[in-house]
Amino acid sequence: MKTRTYSELSKLETFEERFRYLQLKGLLGFVTFGFDRWINQRFYKSREWKQARDEVIVRDNGCDLGVPGYEIYSGLIVHHMNPLSLEELKHSSDGIIDPDFLICTSLQTHNAIHYSDEAILPRGPIIRKSGDTTLW
């Protein structure tokens, strides 16, 4: 699987393009944390993670996939663009807190990236035009 980066993702303008870049299409087979879940839970409480998370939220202006108009008002998740491995966490790999491998997502978008498709994605902002009388 190709390594995904924010540098590459940021060249894509639309929310849908960014989603397709990140979508895992239900790809399973990665080793999960199982009984070692305490390792990733400890990581997500660390000072280093909290600093990286804050940096990503500021960079993305709290917007879903960093796209203006897709502001996240609750349940913001800072998503690892490349699935984490137990080995990376055990050895505190620099990549696990590198903002170039992280992106802001809503819970709905995060679930679509991992388990679904565009059907469950949030709708973009409705752009109104002068004389537009169509209701939302």
Residues 98, 49: Cα–Cα separation, whole Å: 10
How many domains does the structure of the chain reveal? 1
- pLDDT at residue 29 in the model: 46
Q: What is the pLDDT of residues 25-71, one digit of tens each?
A: 765 545 555 556 667 778 889 899 999 999 999 999 999 999 998 99
Q: Decide if 136 is inside a domain.
A: no
- pLDDT at residue 34 in the model: 55
Q: Decide if 131 is inside a domain.
A: no
Q: Decide if 133 is inside a domain.
A: no
- pLDDT at residue 116 in the model: 77
Residue 44 CB contacts under 8 Å (≥ 6 apart), including other chains: none
Token readout for 3 is 């390594």
Q: Decide if 20 is inside a domain.
A: yes
Q: Decide if 127 is inside a domain.
A: no
Q: Decide if 134 is inside a domain.
A: no
Q: What is the pLDDT of residues 69-124, one digit of tens each?
A: 899 999 999 999 988 877 787 777 778 899 999 999 999 999 899 887 777 787 76
pTM of the model: 0.81
Domain containing 112: what range? 6-25+32-120
Residue 43 CB contacts under 8 Å (≥ 6 apart), including other chains: 49, 89, 96
Q: Decide if 85 is inside a domain.
A: yes
> Across residues 9-22, what is the average pLDDT?
94
- pLDDT at residue 60 in the model: 98
